[in-house]
Structure formats: C-alpha cells, structure tokens
Amino acid sequence: MIPIAKPYLTKKEAKAAYDTILTGWITQGPRVAEFEQKFAEYTGAKYAVAVSNCTTALHLSMIVAGVGQGDEVICPSMSYIATANSIKYVGAIPVFAEIDPANYNLDVHDVAKKITPRTRAILLVHQIGMPADIDAFRTLADKHGLQLIEDAACAVGSSYKGKKIGSHSSLVCFSFHPRKVISTGDGGMITTDNEEYYNRLRLLRQHGMSVNDRVRHESAKVIFEDHLEVGYNYRLTDIQAAVGIRQLEKLDQIITKRRRIAQRYHKAFKSIACLQLPLEKRGYFSNYQSYSVYLRDDCPINRNELMQKMLDAGISTRRGIMTSHRETAYKKEYSGLSLPVSEKSCDRSIILPLYIPMREEDIQKVIETFSSFFK
C-alpha cells in the first residue's frame, strides 16, 4: 500500500532523542530553547515559542490577541476542525467565510462582507502549504482594527513574496504533526515580533509560572516561583525539540524534493482537461505539504468512486479538505449556513500521496493509476 504521507525521520533524529533522554532533562528545557531560537532564525521572526501542538498554539494566540467571550473571528470552514475549535476555546464565535477555489484559501472579498462590530480577528489559513494573500488580509484587518492571526499548520518552509511564512504577522502558528513537512511526533510553534505577546505566550504555556524550571535549575540561589495567572500545560518536551532541531536542518532539502514530486504530478496531469491542478502564483512558494486535485463537473468519474478505485489498486488517498460547518460538532449550530464554493471544493477534490522519501516506482504507479481513470 502506498501511504498518503509518512514522516521523514532517520537515525539522526533517533540519536538526538536518545542523547536527550540520557541527559535527564526530559520536559521543556535547553533543547526547546535551542529549537525556538533556530526556528525563529529560519523563519525570520523575532521570537518563537514552542508548544505541544498547533491547536494549543492557536488557542494561546487567541488569548494574547484579546479574543474572548462573544467576539467573532472570521475563518474558513474549509480547514481542519482545529481552526474553528481554537476560536470556541475562548468563548468566541467562528464566522465561516468562503474560499478561493483556485487555492482553497480564504476569499478576501467574502471575508470583508462578514465583518461586523463584533468581529475581533481574522484567522487566515495557509491551506495545504499554499500561502494566502497576507498583504490583502493585512490591509483589510488594519482598515477595521482587527487582529490577523495566521494558521500556518501546513506551511512551514513556504514563502510569500520572498519572505518565509512566520515573519509577516504578530501571531503565526505551526504544526509538527506526522503529516506535516517536518515532525516532532506532535508539537507546535508560535512566531511573533511582539515582545509582549512573546512573554505572555511563554507564561501561559507553563501554568502561568513566573520562573520556569530551567531557570530555577540553573540558578545558584534558591528561587520560588509564583503563578501569575491561570495558564495551561502546553509545553513541548526536550525529546521532541531535539528531533525538531534535526528536522529543521534538512527542511529546505525536504521541500526541494517535495516540489520535484509535485512537478512530476503537474506534468503528468496537465493534459487531463477535467482536472484543476494546484495553482502557485508569482510570489507564492508552496512546500507542497499536500497535493490536491479538483475534479471538474465534466470528469468521467466522481471523486468517491475514484478514491475507492485508487485504494483497490493499493494507493491511499484522502478527501479534499473538510468543511467544519458540516461536521457533527458544528452542523446544528450552522444548519442554515450555505458555503457552496467551499462545499464543492471539499466534495470534488482528492489528495494524492506525497512524502519523502517516495520511491520512483511509487510515484510512477500513482501517476499511471490515477491517469488511467480519465482515459
């Protein structure tokens, strides 16, 4: 079976984890601090804060951005459900807007229509690694006095107008889940250029503790900590951070190889007229965290049938990005909401296998098998 994705972890990551375990420092410590510094340098951000996963990164970002009970946050429904959930965690209301079918990212014009006096923030998702138009949303947010938070769960290593994702906004959240381009098993990171946000994020991720464990451990004097506010246990372990450091070292190499596979797919499928392939506009650089193909109305096979035939041939696929408002957790609350572009994009798109290292024979099998159903 050819999987949809797999993490690219080697003996170097295993040794880094092993060596860290032997130090006796397991939870948030020196390796986490090193990972944060190197991640900030890589993205061009001033600060980086490591957390347990991207969902907790989004939750903390909502808090420090001042989003609270009864506020509205505009976001796509066509995104993993964690996007909307993070808004719910602070008592705010997700307001779902349409996407641009060319890249599955938020439609800035529809977002503008959804702004009300209760709107507090825009949660901008860089879907499956393809950057959204940050400048357009920054202009809109500034015009209405709104916070702009980036959900870059899939976008580590992607770039927008020559700058890495993570350096454009004051709150950008990343994921290191196994399906992402680099992985720490699970984990997350928040980048920011705001020192006040940075300090509070570090406080909140560790129970609101005034002095963290590493500082107390390294101190030559007895230090007693205080808990300054109700915080959370959202720490990343040093074991995960050690793996993340090794992953970060080869991130650009991984992206280069992923893009080569994506180009193979582009070349193989461009002659199939009923398919819409990923669109990477000038100034946009995708890490191709996933490769999603949209089936137009005139395709000779429907998406679900195609997925089953691919599975029968030994190739895993996934449906297009979910629409949160149609999931059971949100369906009743949003029963009257219609998002035809998002819904059609979800129902007619299919994600194909793409990972490193992917064997040549597996790439060729995906291409030949997928193409055969359109002849």
| 1 domain-assigned | no
Q: Does residue 320 share a domain with residue 213?
A: no
How does DSSP assign 194-262, residue by residue? -HHHHHHHHHHTBTTBSS-HHHHHH-SS-----B-S---B-PPPHHHHHHHHHHHHTHHHHHHHHHHHH
| 6 domain-assigned | no
Q: Does residue 368 share a domain with residue 297?
A: yes
| 5 domain-assigned | no
- Is-contact 151 126, C-beta < 8 A? yes
Q: Does residue 95 share a domain with residue 211?
A: yes
- Is-contact 49 198, C-beta < 8 A? yes
Cα dihedral: 220, 226, 227, 233 (round 10)? 20
pLDDT mean values, one per 10 residues, the chain (375 residues): 96 97 92 98 98 98 98 98 98 98 96 98 98 98 98 98 97 97 98 98 90 68 76 96 98 98 98 96 97 96 97 97 97 96 97 97 98 94
At residue 178, the pLDDT reads 95
Q: How many CB atoms lie within 10 A of CB 37?
A: 13
Residue that finishes a domain, picked among 193, 223, 250:
250
- Is-contact 284 131, C-beta < 8 A? yes
At residue 220, the pLDDT reads 65
At residue 229, the pLDDT reads 87
| 46 domain-assigned | yes
Q: How many Cα atoms occupy the beta-carbon half-sphere of 232 within 13 Å?
A: 19
Q: Does residue 288 share a domain with residue 360?
A: yes
Question: Which among 161, 163, 180, 221 is annotated as catalytic?
Answer: 180
Q: Does residue 311 share a domain with residue 215?
A: no
Alpha-carbon radius of gyration of the chain: 21
Residue that finishes a domain, picked among 235, 250, 265:
250
> Is residue 180 among the annotated active site residues?
yes
CA–centroid distance for 321 within its chain = 12
- Is-contact 208 228, C-beta < 8 A? yes
Q: Does residue 161 share a domain with residue 23?
A: yes
Tokens of 290: 């996933």
Distance (Å, whole) CA 123 – CA 149? 5
Q: Does residue 340 share a domain with residue 282?
A: yes
Query: Residue 288 maps to which CATH number?
Result: 3.90.1150.10
Cis bond upstream, residue 340 (ω within 30): no
Q: Does residue 133 share a domain with residue 68?
A: yes
| 3 domain-assigned | no
| 157 domain-assigned | yes
Taking CA atoms, 327 is separated from 228, 303, 308, 330, in Å, by 38, 19, 22, 6
Alpha helices in the chain (DSSP H): 11-23, 30-43, 54-64, 82-88, 108-114, 134-144, 195-204, 213-218, 238-249, 251-269, 303-312, 328-331, 340-347, 360-372
Task: Please choose, from the candidates 57, 75, 261, 60, the residue with its C-alpha nearest in 3D space to the C-alpha of residue 176.
Answer: 57
Q: Does residue 279 share a domain with residue 192?
A: no
Residue that finishes a domain, picked among 218, 233, 250:
250
At residue 225, the pLDDT reads 74
Distance (Å, whole) CA 248 – CA 157? 9
| pLDDT tens for each residue of 318-349 | 999 999 999 999 999 999 999 999 999 999 99
Query: Residue 197 maps to which CATH number?
Result: 3.40.640.10
Q: Does residue 58 share a domain with residue 180?
A: yes
At residue 375, the pLDDT reads 83
SS3 372: helix
| pLDDT tens for each residue of 184-224 | 999 999 999 999 999 999 999 998 787 777 666 676 677 77
Q: Mean pLDDT of all residues in the chain? A: 96
SS3 148: strand
Q: Does residue 103 share a domain with residue 73?
A: yes
Q: How many domains does the chain have?
A: 2
Is the whole model's pTM more than 0.85, yes or no? yes
| 84 domain-assigned | yes
Q: Does residue 145 share a domain with residue 125?
A: yes
User: 192 lies in which domain range?
Assistant: 11-250
